[in-house]
A and B are shown apart, each in its own frame.
Chain A
Amino acid sequence: MPDTDDAAPTDRDHLTPEEVAKVARLALLELTDDERSRFATQLDAVLDLADQLDGFELDDVPPTAHPFGLVNVFRRDQPETDAEAAEFRRLALEGGPEVEDGRFKVPPALGEAP
């Protein structure tokens, strides 16, 4: 286990609770003050792991997003029947917490619900 207390200092500034709050907002999560501080310490320790990525010669090394390369795979463009389409729609909607008139229902996107 790398001793995180003694980890080599990184150029990066330590993650602040305010930065954690900003990241949480981007991820649509709400944190209490307690959580902001706790997560800041914990996430900072993980980000310190990035120090271990230093020291490798990476200049001409391309990034890998997928171990064996990935190409698009298309199925045949075969229209489904109306009955099939209706069944897919019914099944998909069954999983939704609120549904109306064959659609997922959400509160207003702008403003607030009355």
Chain B
Amino acid sequence: MTAAGAADGGSAVEIAAAVAAGDRSAVEIVDAHLARIAAGDGEIHAFNTVVADRARERAAAVDRAVAAGEPVGPLAGVPVALKDNFCTRGVPTTCSSRILDGWVPPYDATAVERLEAAGAVVVGKTNLDEFAMGSSTENSAFGPTRNPLDVTRVPGGSSGGSAAAVAADFAVLGFGSDTGGSIRQPAALCGVVGLKPTYGAVSRYGLVAFASSLDQIGPFARSVADAALAYDTVAGHDPRDSTSLPDGHRPTVERLTDGVEGLRVGVVSEMTAPELRADRGGAFEPAVIDRCHRAADVLADAGAKVDEVSIPTAVAGLAAYYMIAPAEASSNLARYDGVRYGARQPGANTAAMMTASRTAGFGDEVKRRIMLGTYALSAGYYDAFYGKAQRIRTLMIREFDRVYQQYDVLLSPTSPCVAFPFGAKADPLTMYYNDVCTIPSNLTGHPAISVPFGTGEAGLPVGVQVLGPKLSEGELMRVAAALEAAAAAGGADPTGEDTP
């Protein structure tokens, strides 16, 4: 089910170069992906909407531009899957929620504009946990996405559809949003690369808001080089997003071959300690922790200076997140009231109509988070929950900033476990714990990448997370590229060495 050997195969880098040179046709490449979607997505359900005609038209326009000798962008003819919370002009955007039934955005997100300007071809909008709230896509109003590597298991979430689309080669690149791990965790569970950039590095104009101080757009790819190219294409200041960083974008593609010699790498104790292992009473699959230590060894062998580092506030991240994110969500989702967008239920007066529309339109997880946020922000509880969480957030930022004076990057597992079976984490709190390693980067605003590194239970992929300070995406790519190369050479899964 992967690109290997397919006539239309290849990386985004290769496809774009071949299309731009006139050696390959964008239409043929897109058609081959659409055919794979038609054949396979009935089972996987990566997509909510496939835009076959639109994709063929765009691909034909790329081919015409090449034939006419006009310049085409760095992603010419590359099929891309977009999470269905990116606004796309003329194409339904559902957030996998009933409440947006029938709504068609009148504008494109900046990220979509930039991708299409670069010659990328959008093939469809992918499934997600409703409003990006979840870690498995089981909270989608349209049914879950299945993991292409094992269809009895979840692809992770919330951007599970984009991760699955890339893993199944329905698209060469995918895009998602990451509020607490929603790019990195599904990337880990589907065995692909996923980047959560620095907060504000990629414009969120046109991304449906979940928790505005945490949300960030980023790419999925089957290689680190493709992830770097995808990130470089969408990153950079956008005056239409007031949270967009003015600092300017630092290109990452040229950093891929820099190596890790001399790089200072810290392995986060709070996410790798022996007592976290399930075989010692903890909640982490032992193989996940083993792969992370193995990754550290690989980097040390390549000349990096590797050490253990303790970040005590990291353990408070989960709690702080589940006060802050629902609070912001309860405010952001107040706009869905049956007046301006999507589905309306009848009511005798305005309040009754709004209540009926929201009650019918939102699923259980969204209702839980709205209520949690409403409660955490209510008089008498504000200081104990939201206020305290915001102060913890300050402490975390200070602590990570201090650690990054001594380390260039940090290592941790991406997810405590490999892809899990459907229904295995039906209790909300059990599901929330899946984001324990990814949440800190959202609270601090720092970037982090998940790169496949070896396997765990049932031979399923493990993701190792590389974290870095503000705008360190170039360093993350260097490290991820080194780990990718080691894994490809068989260095991630040494036998009989580390698993007791």
Q: Which residues of A contact B397 (CB under 8 A)?
A: 64, 67
Encoded as 1 (CB less than 8 Å from any B CB) or 0, chain A from 8 to 33 comes to: 00001001000110011011111100
Knowing A43-B368, A45-B429, A46-B372, the reply to whether A96 touches B349 (Cβ < 8 A) is: no
Knowing A53-B316, A61-B395, the reply to whether A109 touches B104 (Cβ < 8 A) is: no
Q: Are B200 and A68 in contact (CB under 8 A)?
A: yes
For this complex, into which size category does the number of interface residues on chain A fall? 35 or more
Q: Which residues of B contact A97 (CB under 8 A)?
A: 102, 338-339, 341-344
Within 8 A of A (CB), among B36-90: none
Contact for B390 among A1, A64, A96, CB less than 8 A: A64
Q: CA A20 – CA B430 in complex, angstroms? A: 21
Q: Which residues of A contact B107 (CB under 8 A)?
A: 91
Q: Which residues of A contact B470 (CB under 8 A)?
A: 68
Tell yes or no: B370 within 8 A of A by CB: yes
Q: Are A63 and B374 in contact (CB under 8 A)?
A: no
Q: CA A70 – CA B368 in complex, angstroms? A: 29
Q: Are B374 and A26 in contact (CB under 8 A)?
A: yes
Q: CA A99 – CA B353 in complex, angstroms? A: 15
Q: Are A91 and B320 in contact (CB under 8 A)?
A: no
Instruction: Write the nearest CB–CB distance from A66 to chain B, whole angstroms.
Output: 5
Tell yes or no: B445 within 8 A of A by CB: yes
Q: Which residues of B contact A23 (CB under 8 A)?
A: 371, 374-375, 378
Q: CA A49 – CA B315 in complex, angstroms? A: 11
Tell yes or no: B367 within 8 A of A by CB: yes
Instruction: Write the nearest CB–CB distance from A31 to chain B, whole angstroms.
Output: 8
Chain B residue with the shortest CB-CB distance to A68? B445
Q: Are B352 and A107 in contact (CB under 8 A)?
A: yes
Within 8 A of A (CB), among B82-117: 102-107
Tell yes or no: B178 within 8 A of A by CB: no
Q: Are A112 and B315 in contact (CB under 8 A)?
A: no
Q: Are B392 and A58 in contact (CB under 8 A)?
A: yes
Counting chain B CB atoms within 10 Å of each CB, the highest count among A1, A64, A98, A106 belongs to A64
Chain A residue with the shortest CB-CB distance to B362? A29
Counting chain B CB atoms within 10 Å of each CB, the highest count among A2, A45, A53 belongs to A53
Tell yes or no: A65 within 8 A of B by CB: yes
Q: Count how many chain B residues have C-beta atoms less than 8 Å from C-beta atoms of the other chain.
A: 77
Instruction: Write the nearest CB–CB distance from B50 to chain A, whole angstroms.
Output: 22
Q: Are A29 and B359 in contact (CB under 8 A)?
A: yes
Q: CA A16 – CA B349 in complex, angstroms? A: 29
Knowing A42-B428, A107-B350, A109-B349, the reply to whether A27 touches B340 (Cβ < 8 A) is: no
Chain B residue with the shortest CB-CB distance to A20? B371
Tell yes or no: B213 within 8 A of A by CB: yes
Q: Are A43 and B391 in contact (CB under 8 A)?
A: no
Q: CA A28 – CA B355 in complex, angstroms? A: 5
Tell yes or no: B318 within 8 A of A by CB: yes
Q: Are B104 and A63 in contact (CB under 8 A)?
A: no
Q: Are B359 and A106 in contact (CB under 8 A)?
A: no
Q: CA A70 – CA B341 in complex, angstroms? A: 28
Instruction: Write the nearest CB–CB distance from A65 to chain B, whole angstroms.
Output: 6
Encoded as 1 (CB less than 8 Å from any A CB) or 0, chain B from 233 to 271 comes to: 000000100110100000000000000000000000000
Query: Interface of chain B, helix or strand or loop or mixed?
Result: helix
> Which of B16-24, B151-159, B164-172, B381-389 has 4 or more CB atoms under 8 Å from chain A?
B381-389
Q: Are A52 and B355 in contact (CB under 8 A)?
A: no
Encoded as 1 (CB less than 8 Å from any A CB) or 0, chain B from 442 to 462 comes to: 011110000000000000000
Q: Which residues of A contact B389 (CB under 8 A)?
A: 50, 53
Q: Are B392 and A53 in contact (CB under 8 A)?
A: yes
Q: Which residues of B contact A63 (CB under 8 A)?
A: 387, 390-391, 393-394
Contact for B371 among A24, A70, A112, CB less than 8 A: A24
Encoded as 1 (CB less than 8 Å from any B CB) or 0, chain A from 43 to 61 comes to: 1011101111100101001
Q: CA A46 – CA B327 in complex, angstroms? A: 13
Q: Which residues of A contact B105 (CB under 8 A)?
A: 95
Q: Which residues of B contact A66 (CB under 8 A)?
A: 213, 243
Chain B residue with the shortest CB-CB distance to A98? B344
Chain B residue with the shortest CB-CB distance to A58? B391
Q: Which residues of A contact B272 (CB under 8 A)?
A: none
Tell yes or no: B175 within 8 A of A by CB: no
Q: CA A107 – CA B356 in complex, angstroms? A: 13
Q: Which residues of B contact A4 (CB under 8 A)?
A: 429
Q: Are B322 and A113 in contact (CB under 8 A)?
A: no
Tell yes or no: A72 within 8 A of B by CB: yes
Q: Are B394 and A62 in contact (CB under 8 A)?
A: yes
Q: CA A72 – CA B245 in complex, angstroms? A: 13
Tell yes or no: B319 within 8 A of A by CB: yes
Knowing A20-B371, A52-B315, A67-B199, the reply to whether A107 touches B347 (Cβ < 8 A) is: yes
Knowing A45-B428, A109-B349, the reply to whether A73 touches B368 (Cβ < 8 A) is: no
Q: Are B355 and A29 in contact (CB under 8 A)?
A: yes
11 other contacts beyond A28-B358, A29-B367, A73-B239, with CB at 8 A cut-off? A1-B433, A39-B367, A46-B428, A58-B388, A58-B395, A63-B391, A64-B394, A92-B340, A97-B338, A97-B341, A109-B351
Would you list 17 pairs from A and B whose C-beta atoms are within 8 A, ordered by A residue? Answer: A4-B429, A28-B354, A43-B371, A46-B322, A47-B372, A51-B319, A62-B391, A64-B393, A64-B397, A67-B213, A68-B199, A70-B243, A94-B106, A95-B106, A95-B342, A97-B339, A108-B349
- Shortest beta-carbon contacts, A-B, top 9: A67-B445, A63-B390, A91-B106, A97-B344, A112-B348, A52-B319, A49-B319, A73-B242, A1-B283
